[in-house]
A and B are shown apart, each in its own frame.
Chain A
Amino acid sequence: MIALRYAFLHDARRCTGCRTCAAACRNQHRLEPGLTLREVYAYREEPTDPRRHFLSVACHHCAEPECVRVCPTGAQFKRADGLVIQNHDQCLGCRLCMIACPYGSPRYSARERKVVKCDLCVDRLEAGREPACVEACHTRALRLIDLDTYTGDWVAPNVPGFPARAFTDPSIRFVVPKNAPTAR
């Protein structure tokens, strides 16, 4: 899969909130117990038509990543294909990136005393496979798209309640529930 601008597409009209994606991520990256790189949140309910809708998010591999800008050692960098990658050996564990990221995506490993983050399963991508979270999704609610060529379902750049995207231009797009105006 060769793409120039990878992005996650989250489709709330298919997401069941089953958290399989988050568990598949932990399985893939052999994260220590309690550590997760992907979170599943409930959308806020619409009072007049209450339903359970969910949002699954990890690192957004932003176009203007703050984590890369603040990293004192250059351990974090952005590749030409959009992936924001961490060179784990160079991470000091200073956690500046965790403070800078508006989405709380980088996580701290107490065992390693370093930051870990989603690498979009770069090894799998280079082997022609989807990221573990995307492959595991039972309903294709979570997909990987190329922003330059994607012509599928109508997508929203943002959902209310999601931190302002102007700051870092995160690489995620949303298909929102028909009846849920805000995320929490």
Chain B
Amino acid sequence: MSIRTQTATGSRRVRVVCPHNCYDTCSQIATVENGILRRIDGDPEHSHTRGRLCAKGYSYVDRVYARDRVRHPMIQEPRRSGHWRRISWEEALGRIALKLIGMKDRYGSLLPLCLYQGSGNMGLLHEATRVLFNSMGPITESVNNLCWTTGRNATRFDFGAVRNSDPAELQQAETVLLWGVNPAWTAPHQMGHLLDMRDRGVRLITVDPVGTATASLSDMHLPVRPGTDCALALGMARHLRETGQIDQAFVEGHTLGWESFLQYLDSAVTVEWAAAETGLLPGQIRQVADQYARGRPAAIWLGHGLQRYGNSGQAVRAINALGALTGQIGQPGAGVHYAHRETWILKEGLQPDDDWPGNRTVAAGDLVGGLRALSDPPVRMLWIARANPLVQAPGSEGFRRLLASMEMVVVVDPFMTATAAQADLVLPATTYLEQHDLNVSYWHHDLALNTRAIDPLFEARSELAIAQALGREVNRIRESFATFPTEGDEQAWLERAWTPAARTLFQVDSPTDLQGGPRRAGLPRVAWQDLRFATPSGRYEFSSEQAVAAGAPALPVYAPPAAPPVGFPLRLLTPHGAESINSQFPGQPPVVELHPETAAALGVAEGEEARLASPSGALHLPVRLTRTVPPDCAVVLGGHMSQINLLTQPRPSDMADTDGLRGLAYADTFIAITPVGG
């Protein structure tokens, strides 16, 4: 059903897609009256979201017309003075073009330019900036991200690729283990399905150090000590071994290294040891293992929170092993689900066919350290798009100094973020409602078309339009500086991305065919149903040579979590809230959640301001008391108002991929809390 119709009242309904870094990636219906966005609704044609949005999606009218929208290109002079001046697009792009050309003249390449892109808008056409710069030659580029790398690396070693079943398949489960994930707040549509399953008698078990909303509504909550998830999984595996609940036919037929893994379990693991490590009771570990092995089919959902410790790669591998030991891989309603990348193929259509230059790469997780190590040539200019790293990246103070050390910082954003406030030039970007785009999810398997609902506000431009204008400007100053195609509107670019591979995967001839609603990719509904794994052996690998090559043990083995340093006794956990996504959306005012006994010992009370300090920095937050937080932890929801990354540092996690990239151990941050003025 095409909804782009004119109604009797003169309002127009346009199908758009929420582009944020979120499981649900909702197709939406925007209602527009006389060019003004009036409301946002869910899309009944989107089966995963069933016509509903979340607290963020429903607030988009406020968001589009928010006072902190950047209206015009702005320049800050003197640098970081807070003195901003409106300039024209021509002047802004002229200054940038001269800088780019000057750098290339000075250094013989554009490697002194570093492009840093985040996940603030995951729409396809935001790739245009990268394509523009690469049409001028190799640049320095941040790769990897702050989010999912450890879990991705671990899952690749085991399965060979990161795939999940269509989320609808989860509904066939009889048991669901929600391991380090809080869908009640971060994937509310999936939570609706899960509670419907609970009504039918499906057992929901949540493993989380914090008594989250999801844990509170589950049949069982295992409050595992932070960073000991691996010990829990190994203890469960040992119990399955002792009680003859290993699927011998599966491990013999489809896995590699199961004998050595079982030997490790026999020699190094007992349920009682696992109980001591995790802070759980031996009976709880046996109970959850029995439920997982007997309550078939049983699915595991691995959250991102689980893989933010320094030993998380091993935890993810140990949990994956539970699926393989019980043969619960490749079956409807079973499997271990983390994320997938199977539908993220469209940007290949935007890249130049030949001569794609080799960029110099630096890990996004430690941009400060990475750029410091580059001297030939050094990086002199940062271009930051759809990202707010001053708030999101670990070590805010180091990042602030990095920005100050650049000759030029350009931020492209719809909003005057904390990072934008440190820039030299801020270019106003459109929100998704002001441009055309295509979006996919890392959870469901749908592709959806985002149709422009309203004209760009003020002087905002899409990243494609910005890239095209900058391409024209550099070529005006110096002929053929950029080979980037500066013609073609957004819709023409979406057609360009429509490669034969996309046509085959989505069974759609053209993006315009998606006007009637999202389209599910032609992927197997059940991940690994053919049991042909993408590993070197073609089997599920309990023992991985690739892990060894990347510097990790071959088997999933336990390493204890980091211990608090002297003077900083509390582990800081920064899970996601329901009303913000990373640094986007205002959300509720930040608080620090503490166990009442911890607060009493520290001399801080409910509602009072407390000082949170780490070796990296300090900040003040009001205290909220809750027994759902472990006594040795402090919990602050991520979000732009808490500035919590003043306290963190870029600590790598344990498991590099074969490309050397590691995830971040945000959860290995330890802090001290004292009363303000005390």
Residues in A lying within 8 Å of B, measured CB to CB: 13-14, 16-20, 22-24, 26-28, 30, 33, 45, 47, 50-54, 135-140
Closest to A54 in B: B213
- Min CB distance A99 to B, Å, is 26
Nearest 9 A-B pairs (CB), nearest first?
Answer: A50-B627, A16-B184, A23-B58, A51-B216, A138-B192, A23-B55, A27-B58, A19-B55, A18-B578
- Number of B residues near A (Cβ < 8 Å) is 36
Pairwise interchain contact A16-B191, C-beta atoms closer than 8 A = yes
Q: Are A20 and B53 in contact (CB under 8 A)?
A: yes
How far does the alpha carbon of A33 sit from the alpha carbon of B585 in the complex, in Å? Answer: 13
In the complex, A45 Cα to B625 Cα: how many Å? 10
Complex CA–CA separation, A137 to B188 (angstroms): 9
CB neighbors of A among B35-58 (8 A): 38-42, 51-58
From DSSP, what is the main secondary structure of chain A's interface residues?
loop
Contacts A45-B628, A54-B213, A136-B52 given: A20-B188 contact, CB under 8 Å? yes
Instruction: State the CA gap A51–B195 with chains docked (Å).
Output: 17
Contact: A30 with B61, CB < 8 Å?
yes
Contacts of A18 in B (CB 8 A): 54-55, 184-185, 188, 191, 213, 578
Given A27-B39, A27-B40, 16 additional A-B pairs, CB 8 A:
A18-B213, A18-B578, A20-B52, A20-B188, A20-B578, A23-B55, A23-B57, A27-B61, A33-B62, A45-B628, A51-B211, A51-B215, A51-B628, A52-B213, A52-B628, A139-B192
Q: Name the distance in Å between B89's Cβ and chain A's nearest Cβ.
A: 28
Contact of B211 among A14, A30, A50 (CB under 8 A): A50
Residues of A within 8 Å of B58, CB to CB, are: 20, 23-24, 26-27, 136
**Contacts between chains A and B (CB distance < 8 A), count:** 97
Is B217 within 8 A of A16, CB to CB? Answer: yes
B214, CB-defined interface residue at 8 Å: yes
Partner of B39 from the list A28, A33, A50, A140 (CB cut-off 8 Å) is A28
CA of A26 to CA of B53, assembled, Å: 13
Residue among B40, B216, B579, B626 facing the most chain A CB atoms (10 A cut-off): B216
B186 to chain A, nearest CB (A): 9
Assess the A22–B39 pair: CB atoms within 8 A.
no
**Known A-B contacts A16-B214, A52-B212, A138-B189; A45 and B55 likewise in contact (beta carbons under 8 Å):** no
Instruction: Check: B2 CB closer than 8 A to any chain A CB.
Output: no
Q: Which residue of B lies closest to A28 (CB)?
A: B39
Question: Interface digits, B605-628 against A, CB 8 Å rule (1 contact, 0 not)?
Answer: 000000000000000000000111
Alpha-carbon gap, A89 to B195, bound state (A): 43
Question: Which one of A19, A22, A28, A45 has the greatest number of beta carbons of chain B within 10 Å?
Answer: A19
Q: Are A22 and B195 in contact (CB under 8 A)?
A: no
A133 to chain B, nearest CB (A): 10
- Residues in chain B near residue A139, CB distance under 8 A: 191-192, 195
Tell me how far the C-beta of A143 lies from the nearest C-beta in chain B, rounded to whole angstroms: 14
CA of A30 to CA of B212, assembled, Å: 31
Return the chain B residue nearest A42 by Cβ.
B626
| In the assembled complex, B66 has its CB within 8 A of some CB on chain A | yes
- B190-247 contacts to A, CB under 8 A, are 191-192, 195, 211-217
Q: Which residues of A contact B52 (CB under 8 A)?
A: 20, 135-138
Complex Cα gap A19–B57 (Å) = 11
**Least Cβ distance of B366 to chain A in Å?**
33
> With A16-B191, A20-B53, A138-B192 as given contacts, are A47 and B627 in contact (CB-CB < 8 Å)?
yes
- Tell me, yes or no, whether B88 is within 8 Å of chain A by CB: no
Sample 14 A-B pairs with CB under 8 A, ordered by A number: A14-B195, A16-B191, A16-B213, A16-B217, A16-B578, A18-B185, A23-B53, A26-B62, A27-B40, A33-B66, A52-B213, A138-B188, A138-B189, A138-B192
- B111-145 interface code vs A (CB 8 A; 1 in, 0 out): 00000000000000000000000000000000000
For the complex, give the distance between the alpha carbons of A70 and B95 in Å.
64
Q: Decide: A16 and B188 in contact? CB cutoff 8 A.
A: yes
Cβ 8 A contact of B55, one of A13, A22, A51: A22
CB neighbours (8 Å) of A14 from chain B are: 195, 217
Contact A30/B55 with A16-B188, A52-B216, A53-B216 known, Cβ cut-off 8 Å: no
Residue of A nearest to B626 (CB): A45
A17 near B628: Cβ-Cβ < 8 Å = no
Chain B residues with Cβ under 8 A from A26's Cβ? 58-59, 62
Give which listed residue, A13, A28, A140, contacts B217 with CB less than 8 A.
A13
Q: Interface 1/0s, chain B 97-112, versus A by CB < 8 A?
A: 0000000000000000
* CB of B304 to closest CB in A, whole Å: 18
Decide if A20 touches B54 in the complex (CB within 8 Å).
Answer: yes
Question: Chain B's nearest CB lies how many Å from the CB of A175?
Answer: 13
Residues of B within 8 A of A17 (CB): 184-185, 213, 578
